[in-house]
Amino acid sequence: MGLSLWLVPNPAQLQLIQKVLPKQPETRPVSAASYPEITPHITLASSRKATQDALLRAIPSTLHPIPVEFQKLEVGDHYFRSVFISVKKTTELVALHEHIMAALDRDGASPSAPAFLHVSISYIADEDGVAERKKAADELRATTVVEGPETGLDDAESVVLRCGDSEGGRVCLTGFEGTEVWIVRCEGPVQHWQVLHKTTATPGVAQD
C-alpha cells in the first residue's frame, strides 16, 4: 500500500471511538488477520510512489480542524472496508482532499483514495466472509451504533456512536473533529504499520 495520509480525530474522541471498536469474538473462531486494533481515520490519499517529503509538502501549510459528521454504518467487500461508517461530504473535507491529491499529482506520486469519505470500524479477512462482516455490524447496532430516526436527529441518514458513560452522563458522538493529519507507512500486517509523522491542526476557523 505504500504511504498514506490520514485525518485523525482529536485525542479525546479518538480514545472514545477506539473503546467501542469490535474485538476478536470469543464465541466463534475467526482468522488471525480479522479484528486487528486500528486507528479510526479518514484516508485522504495513498501512494506507492510518494516519499515522506512529498506527503509533507502536500499537507496545507495552514491546517485547521475539520468537522466530520457520521452518515451510515455499512458493510463492504474489501478487507480495509469490512465494516465502516460513511461520512458526509462537506466543503471542508473535499477541499482538503483535493488540495492533497493535486499536490501529490504535481509530484508525480499517482495518489489514490478508494471510497474516499469513510471511517473503517473493523478489518475482517476475506476467508471469514461477508457473514462475519454482517455479524460484526449487527453486534455494533445492538451495543454501540444508533442509526436513522432513532438518533433523534433531523437527518434520516445519521449515525450516533454510544461510547460509554461519564460523570456527566452517556457519551455519544455524531462525528468527530479531525485535528491531526498523520503520515503512515502501510506495509504488511496492520499491527506493523508505522506512524511516521503527525501534523496538528491550528485551532480556529474550519479548513477553507
Name all domains of the chain by residue range, CATH numbers in brackets: 3-200 (3.90.1140.10)
pLDDT digits (tens, 9 = 90+) for 139-152: 999 999 998 777 77
Contact 165, 21 (CB under 8 A): no
Question: Which residues fall within 8 angstroms of residue 114, CB to CB, at 6 or more apart?
Answer: 43, 46, 78, 80, 81
pLDDT digits (tens, 9 = 90+) for 77-98: 999 999 999 999 999 999 999 9
pLDDT digits (tens, 9 = 90+) for 148-187: 777 777 777 889 999 987 666 679 999 999 999 999 999 9
Distance between CA atoms of 18 and 16, rounded to whole angstroms? 6
Instruction: Pick the range with the lowest mean pLDDT from 19-33, 49-63, 194-208.
Output: 194-208
pLDDT digits (tens, 9 = 90+) for 124-140: 999 999 999 999 999 99
Q: Which residue has the cell 496545507?
A: 60
Distance between CA atoms of 150 and 96, rounded to whole angstroms? 32
Question: Which residues fall within 8 angstroms of residue 205, CB to CB, at 6 or more apart?
Answer: 64
